[in-house]
Amino acid sequence: MSDFSSGLWHWYITIPTLLGIAGCAWLLWTMGKHRASDPIKSIGGGESVESTGHVWDEDLRELNNPLPRWWVGLFVISIVFGLGYLAIFPGLGSYEGNAGWTSTGAHQAEVAEAVQQLAPLYARFEQAEIPALQADPKAMGIAERLFLNNCAQCHGSDGRGSKGFPNLADTDWLYGGTPEAVIASITQGRGGMMPPMAAAVGSADDVANVVQYVLSLSGKATDPASASLGAGKFAVCAGCHGADGHGNQAIGAPNLSDRTWLYGGSVDAIRHTIEQGRHGVMPAHESKFSSSQIRLLSAYVLGMGQSQ
């Protein structure tokens, strides 16, 4: 938060809030004391009622009747309640309140309570093998809801991903498609980084030739002469992707010889990758999910690829 604001934000919140409450109290007090200078007799000749001085159609006057006492009482109670609330709970900038309540603390308490209530439900899945979980309709129903609530935002509700987000419904795996690899991806997260390689490859023509060679690895139509020239320059890429372009799952280097493209397989997309690099992050979920939930998600994700 300190990166986006200064200490002045505390006073920016506190001062207008307190001035607003004080202004309401002042308005109530002054309006209760103020009387216009044009008294008239009420209907029936009883007690005089003050007039605001506003007259329409020659004899239609706006009277300054006093506010009902119950209304004034509620107004005063609202002011006292507001001051009391701000003293007990956070609401004045960085002031935390006497009660020590925070929205973060309340959220954490609710999460802890939910985890405790759901613990018996997930206990039965703790030691189950992945194939057994995949064969359990109840387990897969729970896993599907976990996926839709937490993973679909990036990978899509059907797991097919999008540009920059891996397709989980095929059989192509950046880090391997074993249960251990998928569990590690969910638990620890992944950080894939392709550095800009244009300077290492050479000139713009060299980059264009490497693009043609990469396309040829996956069997796409290319310029044979350009691809042949790019084969030699591809040596700077082989350290990660391998001499044959089959990639390296140990470091998440994509297989360039298939037709699966994380950022697109067009000439422009491949050139951009070489010139600008790519950086993808899969956040770690170890602190968010229990070990049983991670096993359920892993079984569900692996099942997506197996169904193809």
Count of CB atoms situated within 10 Å of the CB of 262: 21
Which pLDDT belongs to residue 93? 87
Which pLDDT belongs to residue 169? 92
The more confident residue out of 25 and 50 is: 25
pLDDT higher than threshold 70 for residue 268: yes
| pLDDT band at 134; cut points 50, 70, 90 | very high
Side chain identity, residue 154: C
Which pLDDT belongs to residue 58? 79
pLDDT higher than threshold 60 for residue 43: no
pLDDT higher than threshold 90 for residue 63: no
Chain segment 148-174, per-residue pLDDT in tens: 999 999 999 999 999 999 999 998 999
**Domains delineated in the chain:** 8-88 (no CATH), 116-189+283-306 (1.10.760.10), 193-282 (1.10.760.10)
Which residue in the block uniquely carries the two structure tokens 């109670």? 77
The more confident residue out of 48 and 242 is: 242
233 in Cβ contact with 202 (< 8 Å): yes
pLDDT higher than threshold 80 for residue 1: no
Between CA 254 and CA 232 the distance in angstroms is 20
Q: Which residues contact 307 (CB under 8 A, 6 or more apart)?
A: 169
Least confident of 50-59, 94-103, 219-228: 50-59
What mean pLDDT do residues 256-274 have? 93
Choose among 77, 117, 143: nearest CA to 300: 143
Chain segment 192-207, per-residue pLDDT in tens: 899 999 999 999 999 9
Beta bridge partners of 48: 41
| pLDDT band at 56; cut points 50, 70, 90 | confident
102 in Cβ contact with 94 (< 8 Å): no
Q: What is the pTM of this model?
A: 0.70
Which residue in the block uniquely carries the two structure tokens 């059989």? 171
Q: What percent of the chain has pLDDT over 70?
A: 91
The mean of the pLDDT values for the chain is: 88
Which pLDDT belongs to residue 34? 58
- Would you state the structure tokens that stand for residue 146, as one six-digit string? 């976990």
Q: What is the 3-state secondary structure (H, E, C) of the chain?
A: CCCCCCCHHHHHHHHHHHHHHHHHHHHHHHHHHCCCCCCEECCCCCCEECEEEEEECCCEEEECCCCCHHHHHHHHHHHHHHHHHHHHCCCCCCCCCCCCCCHHHHHHHHHHHHHHHHHHHHHCCCCCCHHHHHCCHHHHHHHHHHHHHHCHHHHCCCCCCECCECCCCCCCCCCCCCHHHHHHHHHHCEEEEECCCHHHHCCHHHHHHHHHHHHHHCCCCCCHHHHHHHHHHHHHCHHHHCCCCCCECCCCECCCCCCCCCCCCCHHHHHHHHHHCEEEEECCCCCCCCHHHHHHHHHHHHHHHHCC
| pLDDT band at 41; cut points 50, 70, 90 | low
